[in-house]
A = this chain, B = another copy of it.
Amino acid sequence: MQFSSSLLENAVNEFAKLPGIGKKTALRLVLHLLKQDSEDVEHFSETMSRMRNEIKFCQRCHNVADADICSICANSLRKQEMICVVENIRDVIALESTQQFSGTYHVLGGVISPLDGVGPNQLNIDTLIHRVQKEGTSEVIFALSPTIQGDTTIYYIQKKLPAETKVTTIARGIAFGGELEYADEMTLARSLQNRLPVDSYVSSR
């Protein structure tokens, strides 16, 4: 692309560095910003800088936070003795959006994946073990990806948790709206194994 303004070119290049944004999309976004009021663009820029510079990670669960402890951990109405272990911040947001979970979280920062060079020491596993021991957590719920790496991570952490702690994982099965014939064999086999009494199924809808 040929630009007649280096200011425009620089802005397009900055946007094009973001994931999934090509040069053409970047140009569209920049031309949109160019049409906005100067104060609005200033506000956009300031919000990004502030977010990067002032955001903190919860010292207890490693979730993003505005303070040293995140708003979920600081909420006394939530069940502090119940911890849901997730891979990343995005999973916390997805689970919170269901408004069905009233416990706390622990963000691992990934799953054990030797091929990608991610071992237990790169993840927030030690802080989880320490937290469960110190707080006397009653239940640890794993909400990790249903992959070999996810299962390995569950297995690794479970062995390190105190024997009296209840350890569960979120249910695997056919998703609502999913077609049975398109489900993979593994999912289908597991959903048969873990079949539910019809009474509990109907009442939970």
Residues on A facing B (Cβ under 8 Å): 1-8, 10-11, 14, 17-21, 25, 27-34, 36, 38, 41-55, 58, 63-66, 70-72, 89-90, 92-93, 96-97, 99
Residues of B within 8 A of A5 (CB): 55, 64-66, 70-71
| A97 → chain B closest CB, angstroms | 5
Cα A36 to Cα B51 with chains together (Å): 12
> A14-B44, A20-B28 given as contacts; is B70 within 8 A of A4 (CB)?
yes
Which residues does chain B contribute within 8 Å of A89, judged by CB atoms?
31
A51 to B15, CA, bound (A): 12
Q: Are the C-beta atoms of A8 and B55 separated by less than 8 Å?
A: yes
Task: Verify A32–B19 contact, CB threshold 8 A.
Answer: yes
Report yes or no: A2 in contact with B53, Cβ–Cβ below 8 A. no
| Seed contacts A7-B64, A19-B32; 19 additional CB < 8 Å A-B pairs | A2-B93, A2-B99, A3-B96, A4-B63, A5-B65, A5-B66, A7-B66, A10-B51, A14-B44, A18-B33, A20-B25, A20-B28, A21-B29, A27-B93, A33-B51, A33-B52, A38-B52, A41-B49, A42-B49
Smallest Cβ-Cβ distance to A66: which chain B residue: B5
| Bound form: Cα–Cα A96–B70 in Å | 51
Complex interface: chain B residues within 8 A of A20 (CB): 25, 28
Closest to A6 in B: B66
How many Å lie between the Cα of A43 and that of B48 in the bound state?
10
- Nearest B residue to A88 by beta-carbon distance? B31
Smallest CB gap from A55: residue in B: B7
The answer to whether A48 touches B51 (Cβ under 8 A) is no
- A4 contact from B2, B7, B10, B71, Cβ within 8 A: B71
Known: A28-B19, A29-B18. A93 touches B3 (CB 8 A): yes
Compute how far the CA of A97 lies from the CA of B23 in the bound complex, rounded to whole angstroms: 13
Contacts of A3 in B (CB 8 A): 64, 93, 96
Q: Which residues of B contact A64 (CB under 8 A)?
A: 3-5, 7-8, 34
